[in-house]
Structure 1
């Protein structure tokens, strides 16, 4: 990151090297993490579900954002200061003048922001789909309905802002990379939509990552295990932190630009896009970590997450046996199923056969 003297912007700008680094490194890490996530699914013979396909869609969008950044750094449109305009321009000419590098940046920004919205939408919906995989047994349950409504809201939110990105200037799409005069005349909602996007994105991030906690804390588990599961599901807090940083950068940048302060608009836009890519990449990695943790802890985490679903499944049929309370969840599941199976196997047998010798009358769950 670099800063410039005489500039009113309070944050350091992203340099060309920063643009290359995030444009290449972050999508590469995202590809590796997503590949490992799919490998883990296959290794554990888990069904590939909507959450997996949505995360692949988010990966494609993050790769597209990285390509935009790499191209912008290679052409000098990103990471380099705007050269001063010709000295002989009049005040009227300044409205129609546009630097060639800044025009290229605006043309890059157009597909970048569309990819950004696709990444935001797919990754958030993938996380909610993972919650449904873990916690929803009965689709008519409260949590099932809440997560379904959340998915619908995320789809509508993504489509709304994609349309606002494409058509902020009505049918004059070319004005997205036009001069200052063109944008002032034809694009009245640009700043309003930017504020709305950054604010609503942060609110949705917080909501999505906090959504499953009530379900976790209702489970019959030890406090340590509840904290462990909550921590796994809250790994997306790093993406929320990036979203907060992005919001602060956008608010300060838009305030200074509208006040016509001494800031380099090209570097300000680059920094805003930098934080957008960082947020998307971190959110994607966070969405894959619960599955990847199964490799790190040698499948123990998978047993724990699957046992959560087992508890919800058992609740939908009957209450747990009180003697199970001190057992691990997956043993509780085995105990419950074994008791039911033995009960069904003994139906129709003589009483003396069912009882057996006195020494075998007490049943002990296998470990």
Structure 2
């Protein structure tokens, strides 16, 4: 029969997102090379997830060429056999990829949050749960038919069981696991001594995992649709897109935190130049209409990393500002992992009035 219209649409999705995830993985490797830190366990795991998703896409293109998405009654026995081969192969490659994605983000949490022992215990428990899920469902997917090749080589006494119970159980567990993994670091992140803007930025990257949860809910609705259960090949075509989207979005989302060095080196300087140009034009415009240049405020002084002394004339106060550096907390570990070579700065201010000094730390 050849490719159907729904199969061609799926092929376009596969071509676009396979290319996009390849670019994202390439950027991750470039970031690793740029910082010289070497590959860590979470890097190896996301590469495994990418390779498994790519293998699933290759099998998907083969199935599309044999009528994936068509109604079962119009396909030949050979084409239906190809769809069963896709089903078994896709179940295994999807399972490997989704488990590798989960373990990748969990091991990334371990490398970012190093001093919170209760949090690290929770992460290790989550890793154990993900591992148990893999061990439990691998034989479920491999025993979908008896014998395994019954879908494309029927033999007397063979059988294939319904996909619905195992699919519903798998998707439900994945919704629970991905939701828990997405929100797991938020409470620890919020307690760190970081700027609110940084907390929101990092927290948003972690919470983007909930987008994958939304796709899983959509896939669950497709699976429970009676039309999907009645027509095997047509239903398989509908489920395939949701299954692929889970993997593609997971790979992209868990890679975003590791791209911070590239953002800092190439994007931030560009944004800074544009911001500086805009401020310069604004100052020139103000000077043109007769305004005097703005005096440097105390906050500007505090942004400097050099020791300085500020005298508040007419008030009898003298303030000395000094900068110190530290790297012994989770907030520093988070910054150094996501932004290598970053420096934490603390300003010590001592304020004197007459002969009674007072010291504050900000």
| TM above 0.5 | yes
The match for 1:168 among 144, 160, 170 is 144
Distance 2:100 2:254 in 1: 11
CA shift at 1:62, angstroms?
A: 0.8
CA shift at 1:52, angstroms?
A: 0.3
Distance 2:326 2:99 in 1: 26
Change (3 A) 1:187 1:235: same
SS in 1 for 2:218: helix
SS in 2 for 1:15: helix
Higher strand share: 2
Q: TM-score, normalised by structure 2?
A: 0.69
Question: Is the contact made by 2:69 and 2:235 (CA closer than 8 Å) also made in structure 1?
Answer: no
Equivalence map 1:271-286=2 (5 Å) = 271-286=238-253
The match for 2:67 among 77, 83, 106 is 77
Distance 1:189 1:147 in 2: 34
Question: Is the contact made by 1:58 and 1:122 (CA closer than 8 Å) also made in structure 2?
Answer: yes
SS in 2 for 1:298: helix
> In the alignment, which residue of structure 2 is the partner of 1:105?
83
Change (3 A) 1:128 1:201: same
Q: Which runs of 4+ in 1 moved over 6 A?
A: 361-365
1:261-285 C-alpha deviation (Å, 9 max, x unpaired): xxx4311111112210111011001
> In the alignment, which residue of structure 1 is the partner of 2:297?
none
Change (3 A) 1:206 1:313: closer
CA shift at 1:126, angstroms?
A: 0.1
Question: Is the contact made by 2:218 and 2:242 (CA closer than 8 Å) also made in structure 1?
Answer: yes
1:57 and 2:35 correspond: no
1:223 and 2:199 correspond: no
Larger RCO of the pair (alpha carbons < 8 Å, separation 6+):
1
Question: Is the contact made by 1:294 and 1:300 (CA closer than 8 Å) also made in structure 2?
Answer: no
Gapped regions of structure 2 (runs ≥ 5): 269-324, 334-341, 349-356
Superposition CA RMSD, Å: 3.4
Change (3 A) 1:28 1:112: same
Equivalence map 1:159-308=2 (5 Å) = 159-169=135-145, 172-177=147-152, 186-188=159-161, 190-252=163-225, 255-256=226-227, 260=230, 264-298=231-265
Length, aligned pairs only = 286
Q: TM-score, normalised by structure 1?
A: 0.68
Change (3 A) 1:217 1:176: farther
